[in-house]
Amino acid sequence: MSAERALRFALNGRPVQIDVPPHWTLLQALRESLLAYEVKYGCGEGECGACAVLLDDEPVNACLLLAVHADGKSVTTARGLAAEFVGAQGFAPLQEAFVAHGAVQCGFCTPGMLVAAAHLLRTNPTPSREQIRAALAANLCRCTGYAKIVDAVAAAAAALDDRAEALGDEAAEGYRPSGNELEK
């Protein structure tokens, strides 16, 4: 058996160091070494999106990526989306929108959906409903029928848009929420 590899990366904004077998996926490293159980094992084939995380702010399926590819990078899970700010319900606004719109059913797909939605809103703060559906297409949900999830993402986008308007015309010109802005 091959020797374990030492990995250093940021997990939800905090530095971590772990030793993992070189064949481990990022999903295995996150769940088994770092106890990041919000990253779900669904299909193991990159088809369901339950294991979605942001790797240097880009969505990836952690079940398909070898853990060694995270070395020196930043990994954000659904838990990390609320790490810097806690909203009125104890969650970030995106999570609050999921709760308010009934987009959380059994909860298995929710972390992956939140990660995909956060990436969408970071890159396109005012998406159409069609763009929301396209951004979430890689994430499977067997409970909600997706309408409530799309409603929740649209509501979060509207809340971010209201925030940009509150900044005023000059400040809002060219406004794009940062990762931290989605948590506020």
Q: CA geometry: angle at 167 spanning 126 and 79, to 5°?
A: 60
Q: Are residues 63 and 130 in the same domain?
A: no
CATH, residue 21: 3.10.20.30
pLDDT band at 12 (very low <50, low <70, confident <90, very high): very high
Lowest mean pLDDT: which of 1-5, 51-55, 96-100? 1-5
Name the domain count of the chain: 2
Backbone phi, psi, residue 72, to 5°: 80, 10
Q: Are residues 68 and 118 in the same domain?
A: no
Q: What pLDDT is stored for residue 168 in this prediction?
A: 59
Query: Could you read off the pLDDT of 37-68 as tens digits, one per residue?
Result: 999 999 999 999 999 999 999 999 999 999 99
Domain that holds residue 162: 84-183
Q: Are residues 99 and 172 in the same domain?
A: yes
Q: Are residues 89 and 148 in the same domain?
A: yes
Best CA proximity match to 31, nearest among 49, 22, 18: 18
CATH, residue 174: 1.10.150.120
Rounded to two decimals, the pTM is 0.84
